[in-house]
Structure 1
Amino acid sequence: MTAGTVAAAAGTAVRGRALALAALAAPAAAGVSGPALVVPEAAASLGVSVPTATWLLTVFGIGMAAGTPLLTAAGRRSGPGGTLRTAAALVVAGTALVLFVPGFAAALAGRALLAAGAAGFNVAAFQLAGRDRSGRSAGLVAIGSAVGGTAGLFGGAAVAAGVDWRGALVLPVLSVAALGWVRGPAPDAPDSPRPRPARDGTATALRSPAFRSSAGLMLVLSTVNFGLMYAGPRRAGELAGWGVVQTGAFAAVAALAGALLSWLLVRARARPWVLACGGALAVALAAGGPWAWVVLLGSGVSSLATAAAQGLLTGASTEGLPEELHDTAVGLFNFAFLVGVAAGPALASALLS
């Protein structure tokens, strides 16, 4: 084989691995948005108020934020394979709790377990993708995550309408099915633990200016995105008079278009200020738009900026750090993203109440 053929085969293998990791991350992200449009139905069934039922969204973000550092630490000991096995067990346990144990407390606890498992899938996917220093693998995983998060809007509404609202709460269980595609080590890195970082690894990462700027921007964009994921479709539906499934379909299409278009920003290596402007524009369109399509355009712009930021800033967050701290930095970066996942719906719910 010629050198060119070998390089092409290696590139194909890396892209195939990235697509598999994207498929793993997508259902995990769907857990964030899946219940967004069925909160009133869940509230009525569980006998709680709508603001109380909104905790079914908020607890997922909290669970992912809490699960990220725990499963990142586990991954340093047992490698991504161990992280994936732990994540699968948590997701299956959470699914069983939501589907088969009645009551709001059980649903809340199940969502927390599902979130911790989803965090594990997310951590493993981005750690493996982050070993491609071009940033393109991380970009594909970010797009997969964004696609899952946006498709969850329609998927959750459709499952609730066709089966039961509880099904909208357990969409991350689909990640378990994707594990069959993610098998064997990454083409460019063994599936084994990296050298254990020094005790002050977290502090070193937090002191890094590159990490702080990347994680700070990711936190802001994530908070905006998931706040709009909760509030945007509701406002659009009210303006247009759509039903839940119709609202979910239109909202998912808008956000999905933004997620897919984010690849253009990843390939162009867009500057952070472009991403920040995208987040600001999204808020202006979604909050002030007088028509449903303007509100949904805001959601799409937010999805575009957030997905591009995950792809571009994951690698940027490790700049200037020794290689043994890269996984730590990626885990902390994802923690910042997940704080926004939790804060966004809670903030939107508070502003709307």
Structure 2
Amino acid sequence: MTTLSAPSAPSPAVRGTSLRTGLLLGALAAPASMGVSGPSLALPDAARALAVGPGAAAWLMTAFGLGMAVGTPLLSATAGRRHGPAGIIRAAAALVVLGALLVLLAPGLPLAIAGRTLEAAGAAGLNVAAFQLAGRDRSGRTPGLVAIGSAVGGTAGLFVGAAAAGALGWRAALVLPLLGLPFLRPSLRLAGGPPASASASAPAPAPAPGDDTRRTPGNRTGLPLDILRDRRFLTATGLMLALSTVNFVLLYAAPRRVTALTGWSAVETGAASSVAALAGALLSWQLVRAAPRLGPVRLRVLLALGSAGALALAVAAPWAVAVLIGSGASALVTAGGQGLLTGAATEGLPPARHGLAIGLFNLAFLIGVAAGPALAAFADQTVQFI
């Protein structure tokens, strides 16, 4: 049985460089996650302003997940293949600005959805570039920090979006990926430099998603059949899809339950929800540290049970504090799982296939980003559990 083994301890200088790099790249990736959660508490205002129902307004969240799912492979295969992470960052920034302008100027829901989709494609590119650059650190610490930064952005987005909507109007909650633009210049410098935290003897970094053009012998279809047949890849990716879907169901649904149970304002609910989910995201680092002791089987069981328990608690508990605990628990297992399951997804594959496998793994995560709000909105309109 394959077990997770702890990497050798890096030197203090390498740890310091890894920390600085991880914080920078986490800051680059965080606004993309804010774009997912930020509109959650502003959707009622958006629905009224656009003269549509709550279910239709939920497409402003679902479209963002779909845009990220499309933008991830598209930017990796176009700008990334020719110009590397720097090319992805430049193209992504242009899409974020263009999409945000369309959202701010859109007179109706269709154009607002189109703008959110473009904005999401750009946000996905910034996220991809952050993880590609973090992947130069073979110890896994920098990717872990980026995953936590992304989770922190998603959780803080609940409050930031509500506060922005209260101060500037509901459209402000839909353009939070613009907050990643101040980190473009240092990220571009990092993209053009050597791997800062990998030792001279470390293996070469895995190719970026979309960069792997080699195919296994006999695969004439162009499909990654060897990856899709790998049991460990399918197990890790399927679990990540489930964790992501549950987490983004709760990002949409849990704040509404808290409001219904307490009567709090959107800003108050956003603040409480952000604190709960932020605590969970930060505690995920303890899960990352404990993973080698748990082993792969117990880790997967813990992630699955944690996600299921979080969903049950947030949906069925009659107390607001229990709903918040469920939301935080979901953030914990999702943030920890995204970092840990990435390695598990590629464990049984040759190094030449790691880049494509990670791209497919991230695509499963983004499908959950899109599916979660849609499923929650459907449930809201049908079984009325919120």
How far the C-alpha of 1:77 sits from its partner, in A, is: 3.1
Matched, 1:328 2:333: no
Contact 2:207 2:354 in 1 (8 A): no
1:197 counterpart (199, 206, 213): 213
Contact 1:197 1:324 in 2 (8 A): no
For residues 340 and 205 of structure 2, what CA distance do their matches in structure 1 show? Answer: 24
Q: Which runs of 5+ in 1 are unaligned?
A: 1-5
Partner of 1:178: 183
- Structure 1 residues 337 and 163, CA gap change in structure 2 (3 angstroms): same
More deviation, 172-181/304-313: 172-181
More deviation, 205-214/225-234: 205-214
Partner of 1:352: 380
Partner of 1:315: 343
Contact 2:136 2:205 in 1 (8 A): no
How far the C-alpha of 1:138 sits from its partner, in A, is: 1.7
Partner of 2:272: 250
For residues 208 and 193 of structure 1, what CA distance do their matches in structure 2 show? Answer: 19
Matched, 1:42 2:43: no
Give the letter for the 1:142 counterpart: A
1:187 counterpart (169, 185, 196): 196
For residues 86 and 191 of structure 1, what CA distance do their matches in structure 2 show? Answer: 23
Contact 1:136 1:267 in 2 (8 A): no
How far the C-alpha of 1:201 sits from its partner, in A, is: 6.9
For residues 132 and 227 of structure 2, what CA distance do their matches in structure 1 show? Answer: 16
Matched, 1:147 2:152: yes
Matched, 1:260 2:282: yes
Give the letter for the 2:230 counterpart: S
How far the C-alpha of 1:303 sits from its partner, in A, is: 0.2
Partner of 1:226: 248
Partner of 1:169: 174
- Structure 1 residues 336 and 328, CA gap change in structure 2 (3 angstroms): same
Deviations 1:150-181 (A, max 9, x none): 11100010000001110100001111111133
Partner of 1:207: 229
2:370 counterpart (324, 332, 342): 342
Partner of 1:3: none
How far the C-alpha of 1:133 sits from its partner, in A, is: 3.1
Contact 2:212 2:356 in 1 (8 A): no
Contact 1:79 1:192 in 2 (8 A): no
For residues 128 and 360 of structure 2, what CA distance do their matches in structure 1 show? Answer: 10
Matched, 1:32 2:36: yes
How far the C-alpha of 1:322 sits from its partner, in A, is: 2.3
Partner of 1:20: 24
Contact 2:18 2:141 in 1 (8 A): no
For residues 183 and 16 of structure 2, what CA distance do their matches in structure 1 show? Answer: 19
- Structure 1 residues 298 and 82, CA gap change in structure 2 (3 angstroms): same
- Structure 1 residues 143 and 278, CA gap change in structure 2 (3 angstroms): same
2:104 counterpart (99, 107, 116): 99
Given the two structures, how large is their TM-score scaled by the length of structure 2? 0.86
Matched, 1:137 2:142: yes
Partner of 1:280: 308
For residues 129 and 120 of structure 1, what CA distance do their matches in structure 2 show? Answer: 14
Give the letter for the 2:300 counterpart: P
Contact 1:127 1:327 in 2 (8 A): no
Tell me how large the CA RMSD over aligned residues is.
Answer: 1.9
More deviation, 272-281/334-343: 272-281
Contact 1:215 1:336 in 2 (8 A): yes
For residues 132 and 329 of structure 1, what CA distance do their matches in structure 2 show? Answer: 18
2:56 counterpart (34, 42, 52): 52
How far the C-alpha of 1:228 sits from its partner, in A, is: 0.5
How far the C-alpha of 1:10 sits from its partner, in A, is: 2.5
For residues 90 and 290 of structure 1, what CA distance do their matches in structure 2 show? Answer: 42
Contact 1:30 1:172 in 2 (8 A): yes
